[in-house]
Structure 1
Amino acid sequence: MLEFDFSSFPIIETERLLLNRITEEDVNEIFALRSNPEIMRYIPRPLAKNTDDALEHIRIIKETIETNKGINWAIRLKDDSKLFGFIGFYRLQPENYRAEIGYMILPEFHGKGFVPEAVKRLVKYGFEDLKLHSIEAVIDPENYASEKVLQKCGFVKEAHFKESDFYDGKFLDKVIYSLLDN
């Protein structure tokens, strides 16, 4: 079984991006992401109502890293320290050599290729550094933009679960995409 140790937080770079630790100084950007109904439309979680909710989210991210149960990075441009999104392995399954990847960016950064760039680099980190065998992404079947990103990055549709999750008084479908280390 795999064991993870994120005590030495990995900073990852791509051609245009810097993926580093999310801190309390990112609270306004985290709030902007988590309080935006359009961004959160496909994520079955409550909207952040204030910066305290955003700080709580940052605290949960930090705790998840400290307990080696998951790891999330801020997405920043190399020439701008402002967080505009985040990406990470939200659920690690060490017994299965598998992790779930997830991401979110501010709308003004959509359509510029930043998410595929970050996903491809994180997939490389997952397979080479974490020694994962597979990476999955769980998305809403109507989240066509995320589906396109995953397909662009080599993920394949693995399953479509009908009304498998109950949230906010409704049953929701979910689709799982995955990528194997070859």
Structure 2
Amino acid sequence: MSEHIQAPPVITLKTARLILTTLQMSDLDEVMPLITDFEIMKWTSRPPVQNIDQGRTWLSARALGPSVFNFAIRQLSSPTIEALPQIVGILGAVDIPTCGYIISPSYAGKGYATEALRAFIPAYFEHVRPASEGGTGHDVLNAFTDTTNFASHRVLEKCGFVRCETLKNEFESWHSGMRDSIVWRYPRPGTTLEELGGGSSMSTRDDETFVPPVR
């Protein structure tokens, strides 16, 4: 049962305009408006959740367990974080080494996804051990986008991700059938994709848990 799976330690990241805090089950009420929204979920492989029980299942897969590394995105409204403002998005790695993000349409176009992802990248590489340490780590951060999700393309480009390849019929959309995906990669600082052999052989992920980047 998900309630018996351990929650990860709470980590807080701050940027000029945002607070990113480890996603928790207590965030469910604030997360529900995001994961029930068609405009947000249309880019993902799963449809909007229909009720609180489905929402709890969705959130538990991203907030519980030893390998999750996901954050709630909030606007920074004051110098302190004693009273956390409303969640406006979610960012993280459900399936390491692949990241994804969702942003409320009400806050799209403000650069929040870019700002949050720039803060997440160094935290991710600090959290994930290098591949050289026993072969269990990762030296690259992947992202997959629908070929027509141009807003997400711009976010990844601004954050320094490299567009590596296009995969035909790579995932099945819940509302529009089979879709092509673009593979993006970001190497661990101090390395390059060329050194890491950043070709198609690195594009591995688990279809059961994958959530493509949004906006």
Task: Name the TM-score, length of structure 1 as normaliser.
Answer: 0.83
Number of residue pairs matched? 169
Query: What displacement does 1:22 show?
Result: 2.6
Structure 1 residue matching 2:16: 3-state secondary structure: coil
Give the structure 1 partner of residue 141 of structure 2.
Answer: 135
Give the structure 1 partner of residue 72 of structure 2.
Answer: 74
Contact 2:62/2:94, CA 8 A, preserved across alignment: no
Q: How does 1:88-127 map to 2 (within 5 A)?
A: 88-92=92-96, 99-127=97-125
Equivalent residue letter for 1:130: V
Give the structure 1 partner of residue 167 of structure 2.
Answer: 161
Whose Rg is larger? 2
Query: What displacement does 1:29 show?
Result: 2.9
Per chain length, whose mean CA-contact separation is higher, i.e. which structure has more relative contact order (CA < 8 Å, sep 6+)?
2
Query: What displacement does 1:167 show?
Result: 4.3
Equivalent residue letter for 1:160: T
Divergent runs of 4+, >3 A: 166-169
Task: Give the Cα–Cα distance (whole angstroms) in 1 for the partners of residues 14 and 167 of structure 2.
Answer: 35
Task: Give the Cα–Cα distance (whole angstroms) in 2 for the partners of residues 123 and 130 of structure 1.
Answer: 11
Contact 1:31/1:53, CA 8 A, preserved across alignment: no
Contact 2:139/2:187, CA 8 A, preserved across alignment: yes
Equivalent residue letter for 1:134: V
1:179 to 167, 178, 186: 186
Query: What displacement does 1:47 show?
Result: 1.2
Equivalent residue letter for 1:101: C
Contact 1:89/1:101, CA 8 A, preserved across alignment: yes
Contact 1:134/1:179, CA 8 A, preserved across alignment: yes
Structure 1: 5+ residue stretches without partners: 1-5, 93-98
Which is strand-richer, 1 or 2? Answer: 1
Query: What displacement does 1:129 show?
Result: 4.2
Task: Give the Cα–Cα distance (whole angstroms) in 2 for the partners of residues 126 and 62 of structure 1.
Answer: 16
Equivalent residue letter for 2:92: G
Query: What displacement does 1:23 show?
Result: 3.2
Alpha-carbon RMSD across the aligned residues, in angstroms, is: 2.1
Q: Encode CA deviations 1:38-67: one digit per residue, 9 max, x unaligned.
A: 11111111211122222222222222xx23
Task: Give the Cα–Cα distance (whole angstroms) in 2 for the partners of residues 88 and 142 of structure 1.
Answer: 22
Task: Name the TM-score, length of structure 2 as normaliser.
Answer: 0.71
Q: Encode CA deviations 1:86-140: one digit per residue, 9 max, x unaligned.
A: 1001212xxxxxx111110111111111111110111111234434521111111
Kindly, what percent of the aligned residue pairs are identical? 27
